[in-house]
Amino acid sequence: MLIKTSASGFCHSVPSDITSPSAYQGRRELMKLMATGAAGAALASWAGREALAQSYQKPSKLAALAGGKSGVAGAIVMDKVTDYKDATTYNNFYEFGTDKADPGKNAHTLVTKPWSVAVEGLVKQPKTYTLEDLIKLSPQEERIYRLRCVEGWSMVIPWTGYSLSELIKKVEPLGSAKYVEFITQADPKTMPFVGSRVLEWPYVEALRMDEAMHPLALLTFGMYGEVLANQNGAPVRMVLPWKYGFKSGKSIVKIRFTDKEPRTAWNKAAAQEYGFYSNVNPEVDHPRWSQATERRIGEDGLFAKKRKTLMFNGYEAQVGQLYAGMDLKKFF
Amino acid sequence: MISRQKLLLSPAAKPIFFVLCLLPFVWLFYSALTNQLGANPAEALIRATGDWTLRFICIALAITPLRTISSTPALARFRRMLGLFVYFYVVIHLLSYSWFDMGFDVADIVKDIIKRPFILVGFSAFVLLTPLAATSFNAAIKAMGAKRWQTLHKLVYVIAGLGLLHFFWMRSGKNDFAEVFVYAAIIAVLFGWRVKQFLKKKKLKSPGNADDAILTR
């Protein structure tokens, strides 16, 4: 066997390894084009297609709340954005009724001013933030996320907010803090169905600390360039694009850091059906229905076949490592 | 009372009633065509046709008690049509599910039925209703003999129960039974009335009683 070392002297490359002069010249030309900006024109149609895919109608209904560009990986999906009308008339927000048309009809009674959010529990800097202070805590970013409901439908919604991690860093959790709990508003005077026996009130959700620190976990104040509509969880909610929609608590009034895994609202109602993690997973079915496919609201018409659901709702590259080594069938 | 009888016996009564029963379907069809079924039209169609099936079961089962209590025998003319409308709406319900939810994919439907037993309950109700719809014409009654025909058609109580269970099970995911209880209460009252009549008849045990023929129908 012939082993080549530096001692064996210069070896000539085989002809197929050598770049042909024409290809070499071609690259030079492309670089020149780039430098002069001419490539811009060539790429314009491609870029234009992207811009077109992500344009959406501004609803002009509520106060504007613009978000800047986000540098977070996975912040903008290229799927077609769902119509504002669908996103505000087809909701699960049981405090306003269990029919999906109910929140849009009933949530006008929600009072969002004044609003404050208490941050408490295992933190060095517990504090009650007024909504105004919370909005200003970090620059607002626009994130266009897929939203997958556990019931088997999905939407694509442009949210405005910032990574929850920004707030968490400010309040300095203690080493003993392992979980973050979100307690939402439960006011029977303004929320007609609080007190119904469907769920235990207030609606409580929670995340493991590393999930809460993930940059995609969005503390959300707006949608479609405006403040949140009441039926979508005004004035402040969570959005966790890789989890089923119900994990994202709406109209949050308290964020608490704990050392024990909190019991969450749906887990309390039906533990065998709704686990703590509730990550979107086409391979782990809900006990009573398949999670392999979904219907995209407003896009998949009456005669369209349902589309395949993606692992972690398409955010596997970003969040997959949070669950490395975990049996996702057991920790559903 | 006579005028009510007359109205129901007029030749126009049946066609008018037919059109009335068809209205929910026309309205759903129109809404689907003009995209007015909301954000999830498939779900809206499946649920609405299911609701209308249950409603028509209730109306059909209400005919006999109403007829007896209000002494309006002419109401009996409409019972068969109502029963057939139950079948009509359940067929559309089943079609909407298989087509708009499942894309007529048999493998997917089978998987879905295993996953969601309440679908099997609903499907059984449909299967049981089929012989009732198929024997709803006069010749079938003659061929079978009135007694056997009546026995077969008593299946409707089982079918109503299965329909209710189907609805209850479907709603159990949301712990939201308010609507289910409304239908259950209506069907329970209608069934309870029949049980009461049956017991009364047993007690009387007078074969010559002229009212008997009406009460037992």
User: By a Cβ cutoff of 8 Å, what residues of chain A touch chain B?
Assistant: 85-86, 89-90, 98, 100-101, 153, 197-199, 269, 273, 285, 288-290, 295, 297-298, 301-303, 305-306
List the domain range (segments joined by +) for residue B80. Answer: 2-216
Q: pTM for the complete prediction?
A: 0.80
Window B:136-175, CB contacts with A under 8 Å: 173-175
Nearest by CB to residue A269, choosing from B32, B40, B175, is B175
Q: At residue A305, does pLDDT exceed 60?
A: yes
In contact, B42 and B152? CB cutoff 8 Å? no
φ/ψ of A157, rounded to 5, equals -130, 130
H helical segments located in chain A: 21-36, 38-53, 84-89, 102-106, 131-136, 164-171, 209-212, 265-269, 316-319
Number of domains in chain B: 1
- 3-state secondary structure (DSSP) of residue B101: helix
Q: B115, A306: Cβ pair inside 8 Å?
A: no
B107 CB near a chain A CB, below 8 Å? no
φ/ψ of A245, rounded to 5, equals -50, -35
Q: How many CA atoms lie within 13 A of A330 on its CB side?
A: 4
For residues A116 and A237, what is the distance between their CA atoms, to the nearest angstrom?
12
The encoded tokens of residue B7 equal: 């109205």
How far is A90 from chain B, CA to nearest CA, in Å?
A: 6
Which of B175, B179, B180, B181 has the highest number of chain A CBs within 10 A, making it the mutation to test binding with A?
Answer: B175
What is the DSSP-derived secondary structure letter of residue A196?
B
Could you identify the residue written with the tokens 């008339």? A89
In contact, A294 and A156? CB cutoff 8 Å? no
Q: A100, B40: Cβ pair inside 8 Å?
A: yes
Identify the bridge partners of residue A279 per DSSP, sorted by sequence position: A243
H helical segments located in A97-141: 102-106, 131-136
B11 CB near a chain A CB, below 8 Å? no
Q: For chain A, give me the number of helices (H) and strands (E)?
A: 9, 12
Q: Omega into A59 within 30° of 0, i.e. cis?
A: no
pLDDT by residue (tens digit) across B164-193?
999 999 888 777 788 999 999 999 999 999
For residues B106 and A143, what is the distance between their CA atoms, to the nearest angstrom?
39
Radius of gyration (C-alpha) of chain A in whole angstroms: 24
CA-nearest residue to B33 within chain A is A302
Q: Percent of chain A having pLDDT more than 70?
A: 84
What is the DSSP-derived secondary structure letter of residue A13?
P
For residues A217 and A207, what is the distance between their CA atoms, to the nearest angstrom?
10
B38 CB near a chain A CB, below 8 Å? yes
What pLDDT does A310 receive? 97
For residues A16 and B106, what is the distance between their CA atoms, to the nearest angstrom?
53
Fold of the A76-323 domain: Sulfite Oxidase; Chain A, domain 2 (3.90.420)
Q: B42, A199: Cβ pair inside 8 Å?
A: no
Q: B175, A306: Cβ pair inside 8 Å?
A: no
Per-residue confidence band for B146, with pLDDT thresholds at 50, 70 and 90: very high
Q: B174, A98: Cβ pair inside 8 Å?
A: yes
Identify the bridge partners of residue A148 per DSSP, sorted by sequence position: A154
pLDDT by residue (tens digit) across B47-96?
999 999 999 999 999 999 999 999 988 998 899 999 999 999 999 999 99
Could you give the ipTM of this predicted complex? Answer: 0.74
